[in-house]
Amino acid sequence: MEMSSSRSVPADVETTWRALNDPETLKACIAGCETVERVSDSEYRVVMTARVGPVSAKFNGRILLSDVVPPTSYAMKFEGQGGAAGFANGEVYVSLKPDGSGTLIEYQAKAQVGGKLAQVGSRLVDGAAAKVADDFFARLVERLGGASVAPALPPVAAKATRRMWLRLALAVAILIALAIYWLTRPA
């Protein structure tokens, strides 16, 4: 499955980049996200719960970051196992561009799903994928729109950690949406 879209957020590119790399922001914006553990500068382990129609599972996943160009773009690969529910693998490319006084987040994703998830109807998967993405961006917009002044830059190490968490959360949300879509699409 392949999907691409864009969303506008009410913050400048730098503020949006910091938010997408902030562990607290990501955890608050990704529905079902339980943990994100940094393994290295470019690798994370993630645990999250997802439900698509009658299929509910806890996914253990790994995210690898590459082609990071702060504050404008990065690429992610995701591998997730949900036990008997199935698996989800994919790639996402994300870019941030100025959009008036805000930021346009554009993404292109490719994903594969298997197992019980692939057997769920396409309407359920499409709906669930759209809801995951919509919820993530609604929560992100709420968090970014609520602050009248951009937060101060954190120390270099904390800033790098936040960037990685944000990328990870965004990638997971997009990949889950893609997995749901893929599993419920007509054969």
* The pLDDT value given to residue 1: 63
* The pLDDT value given to residue 13: 95
What does 7-61 look like in DSSP terms, one character per residue? EEESS-HHHHHHHHT-HHHHHHHSTTEEEEEEEETTEEEEEEEEEETTEEEEEEE
Quote the domain boundaries for residue 166: 2-184
Average pLDDT value for residue range 136-164: 59
Average pLDDT value for residue range 98-108: 92
SS3 164: helix
* The pLDDT value given to residue 24: 73
Answer whether 61's CB lies under 8 Å from 77's CB.
no
The predicted-structure confidence for 10-29, as pLDDT tens digits, reads as follows: 999 999 988 887 767 777 88
Which pTM was predicted? 0.70
In one-letter notation, the amino acid at residue 110 is K
**pLDDT, averaged across the chain:** 75
173 vs 6: which has the higher pLDDT? 6
Lowest mean pLDDT among 12-16, 65-69, 148-152: 148-152
157 pLDDT higher than 50:
no
Per the structure, how many domains does the chain have? 1
CA atoms within 13 A on the CB side of 69: 9
* The pLDDT value given to residue 149: 34
Give the CATH number, domain containing residue 11: 3.30.530.20
* The pLDDT value given to residue 146: 46
* The pLDDT value given to residue 147: 41
Q: For residue 186, how many other CB atoms are within 10 A of its CB?
A: 6
C-alpha 186/C-alpha 103 separation (Å) is 34
The predicted-structure confidence for 107-125, as pLDDT tens digits, reads as follows: 887 777 777 766 765 556 5
Contacts of 48 (CB under 8 A, 6+ apart): 30, 32, 33, 34, 58, 59, 61, 172, 176
Bridge partners (DSSP) of residue 46 are: 36, 61
Please provide residue 128's backbone torsions phi and psi, each rounded to the nearest 5 degrees. Answer: -65, -40
